[in-house]
Amino acid sequence: MAFTKLNPHTKHREFSGLPGAIGITIGLPILITFFALVTNETYSLQGINLDIPAIVAQLPQSKQAWIELCFNKSCWIVYLSWFFVLVGLDHILPGKIMHGVELRDGTRLEYKINGMAMSSTLIVLILGRLYQSEGYYLPELQFIYDNQLELTIVTIIFSFMLAVFVYLISFIPLRKPNGFKTNERVLSVNGNTGNPIYDWFIGRELNPRIGNWDIKLFCELRPGMLLWLLINLSCIHQQYHTNNGQVTDSLILVNVLQAFYIFDGVLNEDGLLTMIDVTTDGFGFMLSFGDLAWVPWAYSLQARYLTIPGNEIILGKFNLCLILAIKIIGFYIFRSANKQKSDFRQGKLNHLKSIPTKTGSKLLIDGWWGLSQHINYLGDWLIGWSWCLPTGFQTPLTYFYVVYFGSLLLHRQIRDDAKCAGKYGKDWEEYKKRVPYKIIPYVY
Ligand code: NDP
């Protein structure tokens, strides 16, 4: 295993190293499979008492039945078609070319940003299919609703295989333009331990690509995020066709709020180019599974829960407005705080108070960034609450998202604190004295 100047040996291991990597690789796929088993018409989740034997009884009881579940032909054909049609669209749809941050080999990768064209194409296709349909019945959406467990398994296996693929190609030297001293790929600073399982999990190569097509950026915002949208729509479709054309306000609200979040992400994809996922994290099982399986199947839990007969919730105008207000406040904090930092970094807000650092860049201690070190995380977390509250208080499981996302943000804050302490040294200590709260002002 070669560790070179370009790709130094990774010493620090995230998630407690190998045990954490193995735990997540086994645990999270089981969790989303569990979600599929408790949000269906056979076992409808109610309260906190889980009938484990009844849940497990839904799983195949023989080896043959397991094989049929994992390799369900029609689900594989549908999923592969979905994935590769999106790949094709990504290639042919127009977009603006943007550059990523400078990499350790001095290059800056080109990215095609075509989220707008992709979203418009998908919306036009869905509206076109609805217009053609008889009684607004779309077999594609029904297929998704009827095959949640099978499709969950397909996305897990596919993300596993994709992670193997990108791990293997990370060893193939790249042909670089003349003048480059090395033909090594740029690896992630976190994914070059030399332990194959850990590196496969965390992501060995920083930006795996086939030609100019960037696998990581594509997976972050296309097949999983848009599948999440389709799963949510399939829930409305199901309720509409089984409930005399009626759809509850709670299910509509979850759909609208999450669709807004999905399109906001897809339409602002250039923002991702400077985020830790693209600049620092390698693409391995963690991201592959996260993007392709976890996002669609864990984030759609609320809509799937609300579709099951018996779980319907009518919010009424007051509750609906209250939840909407939480969403608007959360989104306002999230968007304006991120914009303030980005504008400040571009030299646009020089009237705001800041402290200089020895690296040359300043740290903002005013406006949103005077309230806490990651006020934007608070906004994002409030958005998460607005997705869970429409499910009422019948079961804590539908609040899984805010617990999970809260832990993710806490972990991210710790990672970012370590990164900034390393980068800014004493200036970071000074910054933390001036802005003592980490996420929630006056609380934490
Ligand atoms: P931040 O947007 O908080 O960015 C942190 C970086 O900003 C630091 O590393 C530092 O980078 C710079 N910085 C920190 N403090 C200051 C300051 N006071 N003044 C100027 N620059 C500062 O974190 P993330 O990148 O983690 O998150 C970005 C957004 O993405 C957030 O809104 C978050 O909620 C969201 N998010 C969403 C997730 C999801 O799954 N939906 C997951 C994770 C994040 P530098 O080296 O440039 O100084």
Record the pTM.
0.92
Residues 71 and 79: their CA atoms lie apart, in Å, by 12
In the prediction, which pLDDT does 162 show?
A: 98
| Of 101, 281, 331, 338, best ligand 1 pocket probe by most atoms within 8 Å of the beta carbon | 338
pLDDT for residue 180: 63
pLDDT of residue 285: 98
Determine if ligand 1 sits within 6 Å of the CB of residue 364.
yes
> What CA–CA distance (Å, rounded) separates 245 from 315?
18
Q: Measured between alpha carbons, how far is 362 from 360 in angstroms, rounded to an integer?
A: 7
CB 444 within 8 A of CB 406: no
pLDDT of 276 reads 81
Ligand 1 centroid–CA 374 distance in Å is 7
Please name the residue whose Cα sits nearest to atom 48 of ligand 1: 420
pLDDT, position 83:
98
**Gap between the Cα atoms of 27 and 156, Å rounded:** 12
Contact by Cβ (8 Å): 228, 290: no
Q: Which atom of ligand 1 is nearest to the CA of 435?
A: 18
- Angle at CA of residue 45, ends 221 and 234, nearest 5°: 40
Q: How far is the CA of 411 from the centre of ligand 1 (A)?
A: 13
In contact, 387 and 401? CB cutoff 8 Å: yes
Distance 289 CA to ligand 1 centre (A): 23
- b/e sequence 196-207, b meaning 16+ C-beta within 10 Å: eebbbbbbbbbb
Phi, psi torsion values for 75, nearest 5 degrees: -70, -40
CB-CB contact of 43 with 54 (8 Å): yes
SS3 83: helix
Residue 271's pLDDT is what?
Answer: 82
Ligand 1 lined by 419 (C-beta under 6 Å): yes
Query: Of how many residues is the chain composed?
Result: 444
Please give the Cα distance from 153 to 149 (Å, whole number): 6
**pLDDT score, position 101:** 86
- Would you state the pLDDT for residue 44? 83
> Ligand 1 atom closest to Cα of 337?
32
Q: Rounded distance, CA 11 to CA 233, Å? A: 45
- Ligand 1 within 6 A of 261 CB? no
Digit-coded pLDDT (tens) for 347-396: 888 889 999 999 888 999 999 999 999 999 999 999 999 999 999 999 99
CA angle (101 as vertex; 288, 221 as ends), nearest 5: 30
Q: Where on the phi/psi map is residue 230: left (φ > 0), alpha (ψ -120 to 50), or beta?
A: alpha
- Per residue of the chain (444 residues), what is the pLDDT tens digit? 566 788 889 988 988 999 999 999 999 999 999 999 999 888 888 777 888 999 999 999 999 999 999 999 999 999 999 999 999 999 999 999 999 888 888 888 999 999 999 999 999 999 999 999 999 999 999 999 999 999 999 999 999 999 999 999 999 988 766 666 668 899 999 999 999 999 999 999 999 999 989 999 999 999 999 999 999 999 999 999 999 999 999 999 999 999 999 999 888 888 888 888 888 899 999 999 999 999 999 999 999 999 999 999 999 999 999 999 999 999 999 999 988 998 888 888 888 999 999 988 899 999 999 999 999 999 999 999 999 999 999 999 999 999 999 999 999 999 889 989 999 999 999 999 999 999 999 998
Asked whether 420 lines ligand 1 (CB < 6 A), one says yes
The per-residue pLDDT for 5 is 80
The CA distance from 77 to 73, in Å, is 6
Atom of ligand 1 nearest to the CA of 365: 18
Spacing, Cα 123 to ligand 1 middle (Å): 31
Hey, whose CA ends up nearest to atom 3 of ligand 1? 374
